[in-house]
Amino acid sequence: MTHSKAILIIGTQRSGSNLLRLMLNHLGHIAAPHPPHILQSFFPVIDTYGDLSNEKTFDSLIEDVCHFVNLNIIYWGFQMQPAKIRGRCRNNSLVEVYKAVYEEFAEVHEAEYWCCKSMANVHYIPQIEAAGLHPFYIHLYRDGRDVSLSFKKVLVGEKHFYHLAKQWTKEQELALAYCEQYASGRFIRVRYEDLIHNPSLEVGKICKALGIEFNPNAFLYYQSEEAHAMAKISSMFRNLDKPVQKQNDHKYLREATREELQIFESIAAPTLQKLGYSLLFKLGEEYVFTDENIKRFDEENSLIKKEIALTESAEEVRKRSLQSTFLKEVVQRNNLHKP
């Protein structure tokens, strides 16, 4: 049984994380499956399990996580077996189960590293580090105005620039702070705009930081079976079966409204500048967030979500609902069996 090393891509979704994941997956040293978002899904409900030092309780968690992984919208290619995951766990914690699942995947693929691109893991870095998992972090970031535009077009996430500016700012600031606080010497920052315009340089930097050989096959990711399967299953992944889209930046200049951009910058201007992005609005042009405006933003956010849901295929909606339905069943079961 081998114990591979961990890589976590952190930041905010819609920042090119699947693009980078597929590139890394084709280097030959890294196993990088499509993430089932284990920590993001199970940390909010972990207290419903009770005491994980109880072996039966911990076994229940392992069985649930394995089933959850097997329900992933992109199948990992084999069924995750609870007994194998139990044999890998050195302590009874959610982070240990998470690590064991990815180590199992890496061993099947004979990889030195495993990579998880669940960007929301940025919220759990203190717990990850405290549990004894000390990964290499890739902080992948993209202009938040383009991130917001992208979220408006896909099934997942918030839809209004007001909500997205708050999310993007929080997650970028967490990534900036947590990498320095918890992982000095174990992280690299990759700017999406640099990745699409000079992928060899950016992937080369990652390889150097990890101490692995660069392989130009990384850029043939779009020819893989997984890339084609992902492009078919969801509009979220429609560009993954194509070469790098070098024109996929500064789209907000063409597609976002003045109000949307003013809202975003009024919330996120310091973080945008910190990450090297220029502003469109000057000091004194901030948007005024009244209670009435925020209520309108909430209503528009909900409306866009409903409209987007109607445009997605029934198959994608069904597949995405499998995991969320299972989690609800887990919580109901756990609460029913509480002493």
DSSP state, 6?
A: E
User: Quick one: pLDDT at residue 188?
Assistant: 98
Residue 315 has pLDDT above 80, yes or no: no
High-pLDDT (> 90) share of the chain, %: 87
Q: In the prediction, which pLDDT does 229 show?
A: 87
- Helices marked H in 136-191: 144-151, 161-182
Q: What is the DSSP letter of 277?
A: P
pTM: 0.96
CA neighbor of 147 nearest in space, from 308, 15, 10, 19: 15
For residue 120, what are the CA distances in angstroms to 21, 31, 100, 224, 225?
A: 15, 19, 19, 26, 26
What would the pLDDT profile of 131-143 be if each residue is shown by its tens digit? Answer: 999 999 999 999 9
Q: According to the model, what pLDDT value does residue 317 have?
A: 77
Whole-number pLDDT of residue 320: 83
Nearest CA to 204 among 220, 223, 188? Answer: 188
d(CA 279, CA 149): 16
Q: What is the mean pLDDT of the chain?
A: 95
The confidence score (pLDDT) of residue 313 equals 74
**pLDDT tens digits, residue range 251-270?**
999 999 999 999 999 999 99
pLDDT band at 155 (very low <50, low <70, confident <90, very high): confident
CA-based radius of gyration for the chain: 20
Supply the pLDDT for residue 238.
Answer: 85
Question: Is residue 90 a contact partner of residue 123, using CB atoms and an 8 Å limit?
Answer: no
